[in-house]
Amino acid sequence: MSGPKVPAALLERLGEDAGAALTEMISAHDEAQVEYVVEQCSERFERRLVEETSTLRVEMIQLGSDIRGELARFRTEFRGELTSLREEMASGRFELIKWVFMFWIGQVATIFGLLAVLLRARG
């Protein structure tokens, strides 16, 4: 980097060597300032990044906790519904067996009735 140009009046008063030294000093100062600003920005960025990451982690933990709570509630609700479904199926099975048994008794009664009619007609 070439640095700032020293005005002719100042160069005449200081001399060539002093003008070159002044230019080097200003350039070095500028470079040091740039490094300082970059370092400060990096530190601020890193600090902000750590803060945001921490906030994100807290939110993720809360979300995980909320999800676990919802899953527990869903499991409880699902088990309740499953229990009621099993009760309905057991009740339906009982009703089915009852009607099958009544149908079977009706069939047996009909067969005995037909046999009685046939035996009377024959004998």
Q: Do 14 and 22 contact (CB within 8 A), yes or no?
A: yes
Rounded Cα–Cα distance for residues 73 and 69 (Å): 6
What is residue 64's predicted lDDT score, i.e. its pLDDT?
Answer: 95
* 61, two tokens: 């933990």
Per-residue pLDDT of the chain (123 residues; tens, 9 = 90+): 566 777 887 777 888 888 888 888 889 999 999 999 999 999 999 999 999 999 999 999 999 999 999 999 999 999 999 999 999 998 899 899 999 999 999 999 999 999 999 999 887
pTM of the model: 0.47
Rounded Cα–Cα distance for residues 113 and 119 (Å): 10
Contacts of 104 (CB under 8 A, 6+ apart): none
> Where do the structural domains in the chain lie, given as residue ranges?
8-89
What is residue 14's predicted lDDT score, i.e. its pLDDT?
Answer: 82
Rounded Cα–Cα distance for residues 53 and 22 (Å): 46
